[in-house]
Amino acid sequence: GAIVLAPTRGAQRGALGVAAPEHDIVVVDPDSGVECPRAEFDEHGRLINATAAIGEIVRRDPNVRFEGYYRNDAAAADRMRNGWYWSGDLAYRDADGVFYFAGRHTDWIRVDAENFAAAPVERILGRHPDVAAVAVYGVADPVTGDQVMAALELRPGATFDPTRFERFLAEQRDLGTKWAPTFVRIVERLPTTGPDKVDRKPLRAEAWATSDPVWWKPARDADYRLLTDADRAALRARFAEHGRADFAP
């Protein structure tokens, strides 16, 4: 492919590697086209500037070649924009130039005009002692953009405690101000497409229209409570009120 990164020793878990010096490979804000600042970490190795540091991996040097997709000119044009090759992979880069994977561009979530990746939110929620596996994804907001939804697979014998979960979120210093889930779905098992690869597509499509227990915050300063059928009907009515009925699950 057009993006080739070389493994490096001593890097943290999740490292993709470093770019060869002859290739101009960087992490770019997809909205502005400006290179993202390097990642910053706290004393525990946690990323503390994820919103600023995460962007899409782009190759900008003039030697880049991309043969395109068979009978899919639109997809090829999306890869080659402004003479740059856009990989579709989200990442951040540390001070030593090491790239770290942060998801696919489809994993962007947009809340209140702020873009962020799902992967850092998943890593934070995965610290919860009752959580065995987690998937974070965006679901449509009734007015504009997205709301954050998390599907949690709990450890054997654990039950979801909304008060404890809220307290846990408040203790996570690296949780962005827009990152707390509006909806929390409790699943018996997360859907997968292969070993350890979570399939977010059905989760995103179903959103909160599921028979699984879903906890939600009706407002940012509200407590989590179980979503009822009446709540779902009210949410769909709100989508229709704002001309976004097609976005409701």
Dump pLDDT digits (tens) for 91-103: 899 999 999 888 7
Considering the entire predicted model, what is its pTM? 0.74
Q: What's the pLDDT at 112?
A: 87
In angstroms, the CA 98 to CA 40 distance is 12
Nearest CA to 93 out of 62, 50, 32 is that of 50
Q: Residue 138 half-sphere exposure, CB side, CA atoms within 13 Å?
A: 23
Q: What is the pLDDT of residue 102?
A: 83
Q: What is the dihedral of CA 106, 111, 114, 120, to 10 degrees?
A: -60
What pLDDT is attached to residue 187? 97
CB atoms inside a 10 Å sphere around CB 154: 17
> Which residue has better confidence, 113 or 210?
210
* Mean pLDDT (the chain, rounded): 87
Give yes or no for residue 60 having a pLDDT over 90. Answer: no
d(CA 15, CA 100): 4
pLDDT value at 198 more than 90: no
The rounded radius of gyration (Å) of the Cα atoms in the chain is 19
Residue indicated by tokens 């946690």: 46
- Convert the pLDDT of each residue in 69-80 to its tens digit: 444 445 455 567
Q: What confidence tier does 68 reach under pLDDT thresholds 50, 70, 90?
A: very low
pLDDT one-digit tens code per residue, 134-190: 999 999 999 998 999 999 999 999 999 999 999 999 999 889 889 999 999 999 999
pLDDT range class, residue 132, cuts 50, 70, 90: very high
pLDDT at 30: 84
**pLDDT attached to residue 67:** 46
Q: What whole-number distance in Å separates Cα of residue 138 and Cα of residue 212? A: 18
Does residue 234 have a pLDDT over 60?
yes
Q: Number of C-alpha atoms within 13 angstroms, CB side, residue 119?
A: 21
